Amino acid sequence: MNLKDFTKEELETMSYDDIAYHLLNEKKKQMKIIDLFNEIGSLIGLSSQTIEDKIGDFFEMLTLDKRFIMLDDGSWDLRVRHAQNIIIDEEEEDITADELEEIEDQEENEDLFYDEDETEDRDDDLKDLVVIDEDEEDGML
């Protein structure tokens, strides 16, 4: 649906980011945030003071909305138009099952080692600990 198909009342009930989505989708080009928000303001009748007061909130709204992406030059566009390039290195060797098992064994063995000084410190902390048997506890009350 195009923005011109919406009534002014319908546009006024829409969020700024939804209007921005429609604008960028229709224009099919990236826009600076101030130009984008000025167009939104003119569509729904915002004063220049209101636009100035709310531009920060609009910026935050766009950064949180996953439909938008800020480009290197500071302009905004729809994320779907900017696919990420994923490079797969074909020369990387696959790890065999035996190698993976060996790595896992090494990791498990690393967890078994501990510092003897830490054990002595723990023993010092527990030297005043008293264990009370349930029968003794009843007699103490």
Higher pLDDT, 26 or 88: 26
| Tokens 């303001």, residue located | 41
Interatomic CA distance for residues 134 and 116, integer angstroms: 33
What mean pLDDT value characterizes the chain?
A: 79
Which two structure tokens, joined as six digits, stand for 21?
């989505």
State the pLDDT confidence band at 133, using cuts at 50, 70 and 90.
confident
Q: pLDDT digits over 14-62, tens only?
A: 889 899 999 998 989 999 999 999 999 988 888 999 999 999 999 999 9
Tell me where in the chain the CATH 1.10.10.1250 domain(s) lie: 3-81
CATH number for domain 3-81, candidates 1.10.10.1250, 3.40.50.1000, 1.25.40.20, 3.30.1360.20: 1.10.10.1250
pTM above 0.85, yes or no: no
Q: pLDDT digits over 108-117, tens only?
A: 665 555 555 5
